[in-house]
Amino acid sequence: MIDSPAARLAALGIVLPAAAAPVANYVAAVRTGTLLVVSGQLPLVEGRLSASGKLGGGVTVEVGALAARFCMINLIAQLDAALGGLEKVRRVVRLGGFIACTPDFTQHATVMNGASDLAVAVFGDPGRHARSTVGVPSLPLDAPVEVEGLFEVDGF
């Protein structure tokens, strides 16, 4: 039976990467009580962007959704590193998505579903979350997507 986040990841064929180190003056995750905030993650695969550019300007919705999925994989890696195990995640509370796009692009929600769908696939019903998705003119390294998260976790 697939009943743990680690087992669900394995069933999906996902091996978590090492959690990426912050590249500026911030930390990857902050815990306060039973809440854990994970800083925005880029769609890095083996240390390189899975895609670059803007949605509506050369990056397709499909590529953007895959980039959002990679962002979520990196968020989960940060969770695992911060908590010492995914079984300590009680709920995905909120995901925030930033979509680098042209001014006329309107399919932000479809792109962000790449992250949301994976959250539900890995965490089950507790993976259902509140969400904001906004279009922005640019993101670090020319990434097309960045995703941040808020999680309820086991107490100390």
Q: CB atoms < 10 A from the CB of 130, how many?
A: 10
**DSSP per residue, 17-53:** PPPPPPSSSS-SEEEETTEEEEEEE--EETTEES--S
Indicate whether 27 belongs to any domain: no
Residue type for 102, please? T
pLDDT value of position 156: 61
Indicate whether 24 belongs to any domain: no
Spatial CA neighbour of 56 closest among 6, 107, 19, 22? 107
pLDDT value of position 155: 74
Contact present, 88 and 152 (Cβ < 8 Å): no
CA–CA distance, 95 with 125 (Å, rounded to integer)? 15
pLDDT value of position 138: 97
pLDDT value of position 23: 84
**Could you list the residue range(s) of the whole structural domain that residue 131 is in?**
5-17+39-153
Indicate whether 22 belongs to any domain: no
CA Rg, the chain, in Å?
Answer: 15
Contact present, 12 and 18 (Cβ < 8 Å): no
Indicate whether 31 belongs to any domain: no
List the chain residues with pLDDT less than 50: none
Indicate whether 112 belongs to any domain: yes
pLDDT value of position 73: 98
Indicate whether 58 belongs to any domain: yes
CATH classification at residue 114: 3.30.1330.40
Indicate whether 131 belongs to any domain: yes
Q: How many domains does the chain have?
A: 1
Q: How confident is the model over 129-140, as pLDDT tens digits?
A: 999 999 999 999
Indicate whether 68 belongs to any domain: yes
